[in-house]
Amino acid sequence: MLGRIVTLSLLISYPVIVFLSLRYWGIAGLGIATLFIGGCRLIHTLFRRSAGDKFDFFAVLILATGLVVLWSGEDISARLYPVIVNSGMLAYFGWTLAKPPSAVERLARLTDPNLAAHAVIYTRRVTIVWCVFFLTNASIALYTTLRSTIEIWTLYNGVIAYVAMGLLFFAEYIVRRLVIRRYESSHE
């Protein structure tokens, strides 16, 4: 549990770590910090998963990012990380729309394996909303990477993007409660 909390904290604070590394330790410090985060994620994965399930895309991505930063001497690969993650999430969520069940339906079935037909339709619509979110977030992250200062990049990718994601989670929860209530009242 502690390993999961540490790893999640490092991943969430990644933009701030990039900013602080560049500000105080330079490009080499950024590369080493990124390798450290990737290493922590990989170690956590190796101890957490069963023997046949050891691949962790995010650990490999972070480790590769750290190596590219050290090899190239540029911070662009580290700053592109949020773009890659959001693009990957968009690709996955979009793929599940083409190859059902949708991503949100898969998550919903973890708690309710017998989803009703109206719930399946709803989860598909929520998956589309998340696709729009990931596309928008990846686009803004790319813009901040290519056209903004490191301070603006850090503010957006380290604060604003997380606030936007939290607001979407909260709004979806409220809408879901309303949809369930409306469905139940119409079928009494």
141-172 pLDDT per residue, tens: 999 999 999 999 999 999 999 999 999 999 99
pLDDT(11) > 80: yes
Amino acid at residue number 53: D
Containing domain of residue 46, as a range?
Answer: 1-76
127-143: average pLDDT? 98
Q: Measuring CA to CA, which residue among 3, 33, 32, 6 is closest to residue 17?
A: 33
Q: How many domains does the chain have?
A: 2
95 and 184 together in one domain? yes
Residue in the block written with tokens 């990718």: 157
pTM here is: 0.88
Arithmetic mean of pLDDT over the chain: 92
129 and 68 together in one domain? no
87 and 180 together in one domain? yes
At which of 76, 94, 125 does a domain end?
76
pLDDT(51) > 60: no
d(C-alpha 45, C-alpha 38), whole Å:
10
Q: Measuring CA to CA, which residue among 89, 79, 92 is closest to residue 142?
A: 79
121 and 69 together in one domain? no
Cα angle 52, 55, 56 (rounded to 5 degrees) comes to 140
Read off the pLDDT band of 52 (50, 70, 90). low
What are the φ and ψ backbone dihedral angles of 177, each rounded to 5 degrees? -60, -45
In this predicted structure, what is the pLDDT of residue 54?
65
In this predicted structure, what is the pLDDT of residue 181?
82
30 and 12 together in one domain? yes
For the chain, where are the alpha helices, taking DSSP H only? 2-12, 14-24, 26-48, 57-72, 76-79, 81-98, 103-111, 117-147, 150-155, 161-186
pLDDT(131) > 70: yes
Tokens of residue 156, six digits: 């957006």
Q: Are 42 and 170 in contact (CB under 8 A)?
A: no
84 and 164 together in one domain? yes
pLDDT(72) > 70: yes
d(C-alpha 124, C-alpha 14), whole Å:
31
In this predicted structure, what is the pLDDT of residue 49?
62
At which of 76, 93, 113 does a domain end?
76
Tokens of residue 79, six digits: 């700053």
111 and 22 together in one domain? no
97 and 63 together in one domain? no
Read off the pLDDT band of 30 (50, 70, 90). very high
71 and 94 together in one domain? no
d(C-alpha 59, C-alpha 78), whole Å:
14
In this predicted structure, what is the pLDDT of residue 36?
94
46 and 136 together in one domain? no
85 and 54 together in one domain? no
At which of 42, 60, 76 does a domain end?
76
pLDDT(114) > 70: yes
pLDDT(43) > 70: yes
d(C-alpha 19, C-alpha 176), whole Å:
37
ω into 113 cis (within 30 of 0)? no
pLDDT(187) > 80: no
Residue 155: its H or E element: helix 150-155
85 and 57 together in one domain? no
In this predicted structure, what is the pLDDT of residue 6?
84
* Neighbour count for residue 57 (Cβ, 10 Å): 11
Tokens of residue 92, six digits: 């996955």
